[in-house]
Amino acid sequence: MKNRLFCICISVALIASALVLASGCQKKGSNLKSPYGAIGGAISGSTYKTEGWLDEETYRVTMAAVPKQGLTDKDKRRESSQKTAVLLAQARAMDTFAALIYSKPYDSTKRLALAKKIGKYVDDGKAVKVTYDGEDNCEVIYEIKAWGLKKKLQELK
């Protein structure tokens, strides 16, 4: 149990670091650009709520990522960028939930306590929409769904 807890702490710290680095690379709300156009999950005729609460049980977050450098196989590049986008989405969701519960700054002890209480819900989320551009950059709309999720978060305050 202690090893799992330690792994969760390390994972949260690494993901938070990656999120900080990624957020510094692009302006908030901007799309990744490539010679092939921008990714942004926009499909003609489709409307999605990509961020925030859909209802009391469902929260969505959107993140984008690039493939790991050095990969040349298209499938591996897409797998790499999707995996990174999902991890960044999970970290962003945890940061958002932590901000709802704790006043900033919140330390690693509080993040760990939160991860113990709601980390399973975040991990059990899924990418409900995945888009790629011509360079295999990926954007995911990540959805976290749990019975009474919003209420559970409010009770943690």
**Own/partner long-range contacts of 5-12 (Cβ < 8 Å, ≥24 apart):** 5/112, 5/116, 8/112, 8/115, 8/116, 8/119, 9/108, 9/111, 9/112, 9/115, 12/91, 12/94, 12/108, 12/111, 12/112, 12/115
pLDDT digits (tens, 9 = 90+) for 41-80: 544 455 667 789 999 999 999 999 999 999 999 999 999 9
pLDDT digits (tens, 9 = 90+) for 6-24: 444 444 444 544 444 444 3
Which pLDDT value is given to residue 18? Answer: 46
Q: How many domains does the chain have?
A: 1
Residue 156 pLDDT grade (very low, low, confident, very high; cuts 50, 70, 90): confident
- Return the residue matching tokens 């049980």: 57
* pLDDT greater than 50 at residue 29: no
Range of the domain at 100: 2-155
Which pLDDT value is given to residue 35? Answer: 40
Residue 24 identity (one-letter amino acid): G
Rounded CA-CA distance 20/99 in Å is 15
pTM: 0.71
**What does DSSP assign to residue 68?**
P
Mean pLDDT computed over 76-99: 94
* pLDDT greater than 80 at residue 153: yes
Which pLDDT value is given to residue 85? Answer: 96
Residue 54 identity (one-letter amino acid): L
pLDDT digits (tens, 9 = 90+) for 103-143: 766 677 777 888 888 899 999 999 999 999 999 999 999 99
Which pLDDT value is given to residue 48? Answer: 63
